[in-house]
């Protein structure tokens, strides 16, 4: 029985993780649960799974949970609560499914407590990849990918095959606006941007997919997860989202991972690997119905955010932190209707232009620069 702590339980990945736990009660047990402000959904999850350690964003939320609780559990709140659930001693593994940089400290504390991390929260690896990977090596814990591309790559790599890899090829669906020109992006609305053709996801990552920043963050995520130089990471446009990513070897062989666009597959694999479990209620891929798969070379001018992310990754040091913080702030301003779609990349570009380089940043540097970058980006609208 694998004991699981889950942070970000009320989100898209969080709910799908609970679906996997629910469908394999003989394999998995939820012992810790954390969410933000969605008390209604969170409370339903608590009643169903009865975790011993619980946390939400606010004190009022925690008080409400305590009033309704029918069994004995610890109920905490705020950043400390989030960290306590992430590093809860009774759990074997943490599923980190929060959105954004907020996931960094809980991840570090969970690694320190010796837990493996199933990581969906890519912003954590983008903003502090060197700290997270060094600490996990030191503590002998594993970072297991949940993101579908990285799960695919992990499955196409095998022991000792690293030295024979010539390229990791991440596939990109292209997001909501893949068939529009840059000119046609000027007046797109939040609702338009939230309509992803292939995947149902949280709001922030859906916007990141439309700007192609998501793929940029995934490139940096791949660098850290697989210890691969940027020169050996490529991105290919693949509209059907059937091939989730590929590994090319030095002899020209390419191994690909195929499946339906269903995040429960990589979530379940992250929890069960190296074993596989039946995916209850999962659709089988019917390739004869798909018929044909299409691929296009990536256009880095059309999808400028991808270029910005590659450049920031290669520059290293504090630059990916600036990229991530500027993007998180710009996307939230777009979602609030305060800036236009194309201003997201303008703001990120400007923040990157103006930042001061810093190599080997500490956690304190990262937290400070993250907050400062958010303030700077916010000032662009005034």
Binding positions for Mn(2+) are 147, 149, 218
Q: Which is nearer to ligand NDP, 202 or 358 (CB)?
A: 202
- Residue 10: contacted member of ligand NDP, Mg ion, none (CB under 5 to 8 Å, by partner type): ligand NDP
Unique residue bearing structure tokens 């930042």 = 355
Q: Which is nearer to Mg ion, 45 or 206 (CB)?
A: 206
Alpha carbon distance 180, 187 (integer Å):
12
CA distances from 256 to 165, 242, 276, 378 (A): 13, 10, 18, 41
Q: Is 37 in the site for ligand NDP (CB under 6 A)?
A: yes
Six-digit token string for 337? 């209707």
Binding-site annotation: residue ranges for 1-deoxy-D-xylulose 5-phosphate: 122, 148-149, 173, 196, 209, 214-215, 218
Over the window 92 to 131, marking each residue x when it contacts ligand NDP by CB under 6 A and - when it does not, the resulting string is -----xxx--x-----------------xxxx--------
Stretch that binds Mg ion, among 124-132, 143-151, 174-182, 280-288 (CB under 5 A): 143-151
Alpha carbon distance 376, 65 (integer Å):
37
Instruction: Tell me how crowded residue 52 is: count the other CB atoms within 10 A of its CB.
Output: 16
First to last CA, the chain: 54
Applying CB under 6 A, among 6, 143, 222, 263 the residue interacting with ligand NDP is 263
- Residue 143's DSSP bridge partners are 117
Over the window 192 to 231, marking each residue x when it contacts ligand NDP by CB under 6 A and - when it does not, the resulting string is -------x-xx-xx--------------------------
The rounded Cα 249 to chain-centroid distance in angstroms is 26
Supply the Cα-derived Rg of the chain in whole angstroms.
20
Q: What are phi and psi of 194, to 5 degrees?
A: -80, 0
Residue 76 CB, nearest approach to Mg ion (Å): 31
Q: Select from 159, 158, 178 the least CA-distant residue to 306.
A: 178
Applying CB under 6 A, among 4, 5, 9, 257 the residue interacting with ligand NDP is 9
Q: Is 11 in the site for ligand NDP (CB under 6 A)?
A: yes
Total residues interacting with ligand NDP, rule: CB under 6 A: 29
Applying CB under 5 A, among 84, 147, 262, 345 the residue interacting with Mg ion is 147
Burial class (CB in 10 A: 0-12, 13-18, 19+), 294: exposed
Six-digit token string for 216? 């940029």
- Residue 14: contacted member of ligand NDP, Mg ion, none (CB under 5 to 8 Å, by partner type): ligand NDP
Which positions lie near ligand NDP, rule CB under 6 A? 8-14, 34-38, 57, 82, 97-99, 102, 120-123, 147, 199, 201-202, 204-205, 263
Which positions lie near Mg ion, rule CB under 5 A? 147-149
């Amino acid at each position: 029985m694998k004991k699981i702590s889950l942070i970000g339980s009320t989100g898209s990945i969080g709910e799908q993780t609970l679906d996997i736990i629910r469908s394999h009660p003989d394999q998995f047990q939820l012992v810790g649960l954390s969410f933000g402000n969605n008390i209604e959904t969170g409370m339903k999850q608590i009643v169903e799974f009865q975790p011993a350690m619980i946390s939400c964003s606010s004190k009022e939320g925690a008080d409400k949970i305590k009033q309704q609780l029918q069994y004995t559990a610890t109920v905490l709140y705020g950043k400390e609560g989030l960290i306590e659930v992430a590093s809860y001693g009774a759990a074997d593994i943490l599923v980190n499914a929060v959105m954004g940089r907020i996931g960094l400290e809980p991840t570090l504390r969970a690694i320190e407590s010796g837990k493996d991390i199933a990581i969906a929260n890519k912003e954590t690896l983008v903003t502090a990849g060197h700290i997270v990977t060094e600490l996990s090596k030191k503590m002998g814990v594993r970072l297991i990918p949940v993101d579908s591309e990285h799960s695919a790559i992990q499955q196409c790599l095998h022991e000792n095959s690293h030295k024979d890899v010539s390229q990791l090829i991440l596939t990109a669906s292209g997001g909501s606006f893949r068939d529009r020109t840059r000119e046609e992006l000027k007046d797109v609305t939040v609702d338009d941007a939230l309509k992803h053709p292939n995947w149902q996801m949280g709001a922030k990552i859906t916007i990141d997919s439309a700007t192609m920043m998501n793929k940029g963050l995934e490139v940096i995520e791949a660098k850290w997860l697989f210890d691969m130089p940027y020169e050996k990471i490529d991105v290919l446009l693949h509209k059907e989202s059937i091939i989730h990513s590929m590994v090319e070897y030095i002899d020209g062989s390419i191994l690909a991972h195929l499946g339906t666009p269903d995040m429960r597959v990589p979530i379940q694999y992250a929890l069960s690997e190296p074993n596989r479990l039946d995916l209850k209620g999962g659709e089988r891929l019917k390739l004869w119905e798909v018929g044909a798969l299409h691929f296009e070379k990536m256009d880095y001018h059309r999808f400028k955010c991808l270029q910005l992310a590659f450049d920031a990754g290669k520059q290293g040091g504090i630059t990916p932190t600036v990229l991530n913080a500027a993007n998180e702030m710009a996307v939230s301003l777009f979602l609030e209707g305060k800036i236009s779609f194309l201003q997201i990349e303008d703001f990120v570009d400007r923040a990157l232009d103006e930042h001061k380089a810093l190599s080997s940043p500490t956690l304190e540097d990262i937290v400070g620069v993250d907050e400062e970058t958010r303030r700077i980006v916010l000032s662009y609208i005034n």
